[in-house]
Structure 1
């Protein structure tokens, strides 16, 4: 009998692991267990399906289940929930259609993803409350928007998903309110960036309530009665976008070591502390290149990469994952907002002496049609070593610029090395004075300023 690899979870990490394992070992028996009914779809595309930018939910699938079963010879099983892991016996207890049984493995990949955090106040039984963390939930929301007169919606949480859903619902003609418990939207950015995003939301008709917690939500049959402190509002639907909790219980209950966010700790080969058990995706805390320790930052690209590495190694190959920087970009109406590495707040919380230098440039030559402002905020040590970057601007001038900063961080650049970068120029695509280089130039000037070395210094550079 050939060796058996079992993968728990058929999302980005799970199917990447199974596919990589098949490429590594053509004779391996590969079984993927999925508690839901779908595999390998674009989770990050759900808000754009809700808004009708993506016309059909089927468009979100990378491949159909038959492709994995027939072309890659992967035994993909839906409706199977893994309930208990016995690493000593190399056995999983599972439940399917109310029937329990055990399945053995030679190697195991846990790709159990993350689950949405739903505070008790939002856990009311109502078909008007959504999390938009899986395809079924998004389809249900899309159907409600199509079939009912939805006029008002409340988004609880002002992070990535909350802002994407605010735009999606606004595009469907819904009046949107965002309730964020912290003092700013996008609380994982620095305040100056959050303020710009806040203004963009308001400009597009979104009401924003900061420092606001939802205390109760009651479905009275015609709408949701929502209490937020002294305020009481009526809405036709509510989306909980408070955050994600690592789906690590299967591994942690079996004794696997966990770290930040309760996520599974893995090495560079995606091995957990349990023998022959690997993990990938939103259930893990991979190595952070700047913090130099595990960090829980659940994002799509890392899920795919860690899934591939876990699958290769679980199948007997050799692969490694060097770690994350937390690079991300989000669309908020006409703005693109991006980050990589540490913010000034995060650096200060780590006890790192840091300076934030901010500059404003143009996305294209300023005389070329469509040129827009791009704000670049570099976080660096007093000696110039880069720690992170944040960017905000209109249109397509941000997404790939943050990738330049990410590569600079990965390479260990300081601001002078970044300033020496040989970046492209043509009026339709970029100005001669590239915004990220303007920020690097200003950051170099900060190194000689009298404030250098003071933790948490925030400086603004030149504008072009």
Structure 2
């Protein structure tokens, strides 16, 4: 009996996790695995790129978890520099193009895994393709920016966008000695937070010497006689720039899937069932940044581009393709980031998210410290907690503070996943010692205040 063939489109976290897990479960004589990756790199941490650029990570290869050669040694036919350009779902085959030679050929499959990732938002603005305008999505992108920084004489940088990538890149450029301006359309930086918490991020960034321009829609990149960007233009002003970094966000890379008629959600991400199988297609799976996932708090699907999810998706897909059984139940929307020494974390719903799904809620905000107040190094943090009115069910938590603040959001993420109320949270048996927290951990202080507000009727 001939071996089945598993074809993987995309060689990063979700795709190669799926391939590796399937290989562990099924031998080479049972399952042939062919993977296509359009870049030179596989299985790398895109989340680590800003820290490589900043200098925290010394070498590019430190971000690579497994090389193409290592995958090949494990029995995976991995073809880098090769892009899949068409899916023939009825014929169960993919058309791949060698990006160097231009040669094309069809490859049949029994099981197909789509892990095409996400594309950086790059609006069609004048000057957007100037050589010193950079996105930060792949290792090649990171290397191109590092090369530009090394040969640029001027020290003015403009970051477009103030989400996770935008604030992380602002720090990286600041550490390279640049005068940094962040231009974005929002009311405050970090639109994944409520505006009052985003305002704290803005104040901290300004205190670090970063110029933050709110409510500014970029209309174009001004270029000089040499074709290089020299300023970022908005409706109201121009901001001089020797380097421009785009941190506007990403969108699911699902053009192939759309052309093949596969189901997509409101954000354009592929829709799957709990096994990560594409809805309505028995032999096609999808995972990573190209899919939408179920938000366990709101009950809606949403697009979240995170390596943690992608690796979990890959494990689930590989288990199912390999003959085992696994599911991915959903997420609560946890994320953590930093800009210099400011830590930013969130999980669950923002106020506007709760409004959008018809929930009534109460919020509380508390200020505390990362350690006992008398212990050296205690740092301030602010915790905002949102709970459903009457039931007291936890809906979301946001934290902004200094060292020791960010990872506290994990307590809230577990509580959200378990469907706990804020009153139940007050009894959580968390670890305590003065070097690690006050007697009442800041998250539990917020839960106590939220419980009191619930009892008082909001």
Q: TM (normalized to structure 2)? A: 0.96
Q: 1:172 aligns with which of 176, 183, 200?
A: 176
Corresponding position of 2:396: 388
Which residue in the other structure is 2:36 paired with?
33
SS at match of 1:120: coil
Counterpart position of 1:234: 240
Q: Decide whether the 8 Å contact of 2:50 with 2:168 is kept in 1.
A: yes
Contact between 1:117 and 1:244, CA under 8 Å: does it hold in 2?
yes
**Aligned match for 1:55, one of 44, 55, 58:** 58
The DSSP-based 3-state class of the residue aligned with 2:396 is strand
Question: Is 1:336 the equivalent of 2:337?
Answer: no
Which secondary structure does the structure 2 equivalent of 1:265 belong to? coil
Partner of 2:299: 292
How many angstroms apart in 2 are the aligned matches of 1:123 and 1:279? Answer: 35
- Secondary structure of the 1:226 match is strand
SS state at 2:263 partner: coil
Unmatched runs of 5 consecutive residues or more in structure 1: 453-464
Q: Is the 8 A contact 2:117 2:289 kept in 1?
A: yes
- Name the CA distance, whole Å, in 1 between partners of 2:127 and 2:248: 13
Aligned partner of 2:222 in structure 1 is 218
Counterpart in the other structure of 1:456 = none
How far apart are 1:223 and its partner, in Å?
4.5
Q: Secondary structure at the match of 1:262?
A: coil
Equivalent position of 2:76 in the other structure: 74
Q: Which residue of 2 aligns with 1:101?
A: 105
CA separation in 2, counterparts of 1:26 and 1:292? 39
Q: 1:87 to 1:223 in 2, by over 3 A?
A: closer
Distance in 2, Cα, partners of 1:190 & 1:211: 15
For 2:25, the equivalent position in structure 1 comes to 24
Q: For residue 65 of structure 1, what is the aligned residue in structure 2?
A: 68
Q: Deviations over 1:178-206 (max 9, x none)?
A: 11112111012111210110011101111
Q: 2-side partners of 1:301 and 1:250: how far apart?
A: 24
State the distance in 2 between where 1:268 and 1:388 align.
24
Spell out the pairing of 1:193-342 with structure 2 (5 A cutoff): 193-220=197-224, 221=226, 223-273=229-279, 274-342=281-349
1:146 and 2:154 equivalent?
no
What CA distance in whole angstroms lies between the structure 2 residues aligned with 1:150 and 1:172?
12
Which TM-score applies when normalising by structure 1? 0.94
Per-residue CA distance 1:285-311 (angstroms, 9 max, x = gap): 011111223211111211110111112
CA offsets, 1:418-438, max 9 Å, x none? 001011101111111110111
CA–CA distance in 1 between the matches of 2:396 and 2:415? 9
- Aligned positions, number: 449
- The CA distance in 2 between the partners of 1:165 and 1:198, in whole Å, is 15
Say which SS state the counterpart of residue 216 (structure 1) adopts.
Answer: strand
How far apart, in 2, do the equivalents of 1:260 and 1:342 lie?
Answer: 18
- What displacement does 1:123 show? 5.6
3-state SS in 2 of match to 1:388 = strand
Contact 2:298 2:354 in 1 (8 A): no
- Measure, in 2, the Cα distance between the counterparts of 1:30 and 1:173: 46
User: Cα offset for 1:147?
Assistant: 2.1
Q: Distance in 1 between matches of 2:220 and 2:368?
A: 45
Q: After the TM superposition, which segments of 4 or more aligned residues of structure 1 sit over 4 Å from their partners? A: none
